[in-house]
Every structure is written in structure tokens, then in C-alpha cells.
């Protein structure tokens, strides 16, 4: 059984946040239940996760209003993950700009496939930050919904190799479906635990 002190862990996160992001950083008391769930997920406490309806085999879809701290928390909570579960954070906006310059190979960059038949290629775990703010880009006149394609490809990796993907977004479930289509939304249901900041969370940016 896992034994960790939630209050001490939360205080550590807040202290680290102040060091990295500035003295204005704080964790809103309204969001303590969310932080608790994220910590339970990160340390892989199966028993408590089951009680809190968290599937440790799925990634995190972290939603909330602009400026509530989604990106900051995903950066900080990484410290609690074991090495094989840690993830890279990548802005979806930057990925869309990569497509503009590099084309369709960007999709394989974030959802690689083995070129050798029946050989698995381990893809890094990623957290795609701010899903929905990226623009649909063109590469030599070819238009592509880059993140939609990446998510579909990473779903295949999730099914075949248990590769983990996490996402932060301001979009609601209906807005995600409207933006990326029912096919992507359907696969996201299978890929993610939905976690949300309180609607009353303040904009913590200065």
C-alpha cells in the first residue's frame, strides 16, 4: 500500500512552483481534490485510484479555464512519476508551426511507426499542451489538421504498445468533437481520464 502525505506533497508542489514560475504561483484550495487525484495517478496507487475512478492505464486529459495553471501543474507533477512514465511537454501551437515547415513527417515525429514489419517502436510519452489553440496549417498547399492526425496515430500506439498521451486544453468535450470530429473524440474517451480544474479557479498569470 502506498503511503504518502498529501499535504506535504501539495506544499512541495507549491514551493517548486514558486521557484520555477515566480512568487505569485499558488494552488487554489478549490483545486486540492484535483491535485490529490493527480498525485494518486502519478505514484500509481492502484487501490486509491480505483476508489477515485481513475484508470492508471489511460492518460490525463486536463481541462480548465485560461490561466488556471494546467501547464504549470503538468510540468510539476512529472516529478512524482516513475522514470518510465515521465513525459515530454509539447505545445500544440509549436507542432502546427513544425508542420508548416516540415510537412507530414511531423505526424510520425510524435507518433512514430516501425519501418520493420512486426517490430515495435517505443514512442515517448507526451503531454500535448493547449490542445485547440493551434491553427490548421498548410505545407506546400496541403492542409492538415495536424493534432487530429497525431491523436489518431497515438491512439493506435496506445492500443498496440500502451504508449501514454496526456493533454491540457481549454475546450469542453463538445468543443473537442466540433473541432476534431467524432472519430477523434471517440478515441479520446478510450485514451484519457478526464480531470478538470474548478470553474471558479482564478487566472494565476500576471
132 and 25 Cβ atoms separated by less than 8 Å: no
Is 60 exceeded by the pLDDT of residue 21?
yes
CA angle 57, 58, 62 (to 5 degrees): 145
- The whole-number pLDDT of residue 120 equals 55
At 23 the three-state DSSP class reads: coil
pLDDT in tens, 89-133: 999 999 988 988 888 888 889 988 744 444 455 678 999 999 998
Mean pLDDT score across all residues of the chain: 87
CA angle 152, 156, 160 (to 5 degrees): 165
91 and 129 Cβ atoms separated by less than 8 Å: yes
Domains of the chain and any CATH numbers: 57-196 (3.40.50.300)
CA atoms within 13 A of residue 152's CA, in its CB half-sphere:
11
> Who wins on pLDDT, 137 or 110?
110
Q: What is the mean pLDDT of residues 57-72?
A: 94
What is the C-alpha separation between 25 and 188, in angstroms, rounded?
Answer: 30
Is 70 exceeded by the pLDDT of residue 135?
no
pTM of the model: 0.88
Amino acid at each position: 500500500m502506498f503511503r504518502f502525505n498529501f499535504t506535504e506533497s501539495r506544499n512541495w508542489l507549491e514551493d517548486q512552483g514558486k521557484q520555477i514560475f515566480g512568487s505569485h504561483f499558488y494552488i487554489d484550495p478549490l483545486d486540492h481534490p484535483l491535485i490529490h487525484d493527480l498525485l494518486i495517478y502519478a505514484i500509481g496507487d492502484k487501490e486509491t485510484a480505483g476508489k477515485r475512478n481513475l484508470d492508471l492505464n489511460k492518460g490525463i486529459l486536463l481541462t480548465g479555464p485560461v490561466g488556471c495553471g494546467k501547464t504549470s501543474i503538468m510540468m510539476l507533477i512529472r516529478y512524482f512519476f516513475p522514470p518510465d512514465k515521465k513525459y515530454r511537454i509539447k505545445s500544440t501551437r509549436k507542432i502546427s508551426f513544425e508542420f508548416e515547415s516540415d510537412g507530414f513527417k511531423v505526424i510520425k515525429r510524435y507518433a512514430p511507426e516501425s519501418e520493420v514489419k512486426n517490430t515495435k517502436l517505443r514512442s515517448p510519452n507526451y503531454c500535448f499542451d493547449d490542445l485547440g489553440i493551434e491553427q490548421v496549417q498548410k505545407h506546400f498547399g496541403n492542409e492538415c489538421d495536424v493534432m487530429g492526425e497525431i491523436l489518431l496515430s497515438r491512439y493506435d500506439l496506445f492500443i498496440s504498445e500502451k504508449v501514454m498521451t496526456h493533454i491540457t486544453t481549454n475546450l469542453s468535450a463538445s468543443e473537442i468533437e466540433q473541432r476534431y470530429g467524432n472519430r477523434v473524440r471517440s478515441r479520446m474517451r478510450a485514451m484519457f481520464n478526464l480531470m478538470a480544474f474548478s470553474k471558479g479557479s482564478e487566472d494565476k498569470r500576471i
